[in-house]
A and B are shown apart, each in its own frame.
Chain A
Amino acid sequence: MELKCYQVKGPREFALGYLSDQLLEQGYVNDSFKRSLLERERIFPTGLNLSDSVNVAIPHTECCYVKKDLFVIGISEEPIIFNRIDEPEEELPVNVIFLFAIVNPKSYLPFLASLTENFSNEDFMDCIKMKDSKKIEEYLYLHVLG
């Protein structure tokens, strides 16, 4: 699977909208993807607190809006406010967004499993903490997509 990394800016809807627009322009998703992604994030937030200072978001939506697989990373210099997956009322400042656009729901699961398994890896956590897009990309190619 291909991987693309983008610099994004908050607020949350703006960042997710920007990533969706990039995907649409390049033919990875159809024009309902954006609305569905934003709506799902509003109803079921995906902010994850991984350790004391590392927070990420794993927004996703139904596979039917996806035309071609892509793993998208959004990195923001300034934290973007998401809400917690486990406590939807609580806010969480996030600097790194992992967005899988995957056609086949069955192939989403192993990627999500592989990504989350690596949340316990210190090197990976360091790349995320440093918001280092090049290192995050390298790590993901090697350990998640490889």
Chain B
Amino acid sequence: MAKKYFIYVACGSAAATSNLVRSRLLDILEKEKIEAQVEVARISELVNLVANRMPDLVIITAGSVKNKDLPAGIPVVSGLPLMTMFGVEKFGKEIKEALLKVA
């Protein structure tokens, strides 16, 4: 059975922006037949959440958390294309590649 991934989507208040990106991400994942649990988080709590729950991928839709703040090896991708609708295809490729690298 294919691996079920765990992804965080984080923005300022874990409200509108991250939920919008989450729902568009779920569409992409479904199309790509990638099974994943996607949760939203506040940027301010992200570092702790990631350290505790070790997701396979982190998507950030507001602010920036530098990779160095997060545990090594967890890819961080900007979710901005799902807000601006520019570069959505490239974004899809990027997350697919990032997830494929996950053992």
Q: Which residues of A contact B (CB under 8 A)?
A: 40, 43-44, 46, 48-51, 60, 62, 85-88, 105, 108-109, 112-113, 116-117, 119-120
- Residues on the B chain within 8 Å of A117, using CB: 85
Known: A48-B80, A62-B15. 11 other contacts (CB 8 A): A40-B12, A44-B43, A44-B63, A85-B63, A86-B60, A88-B63, A109-B19, A116-B84, A117-B85, A119-B84, A120-B85
B51 is an interface residue with CB less than 8 A from chain A: no
How many residues of B sit at the interface, in one of the four size bands? 20 to 34
Query: Which residues of A are found within 8 Å of B78, using beta-carbon distances?
Result: 86
A119 proximity list for chain B (CB < 8 A): 84-86
Chain B residues, CB < 8 A from A43: 12
Q: Which residues of B contact A62 (CB under 8 A)?
A: 13, 15
A86 CA / B81 CA spacing, docked (Å): 10
CB atoms of A112 and B85 under 8 A apart = no
- Chain A residues with CB under 8 A of B23: 109, 113
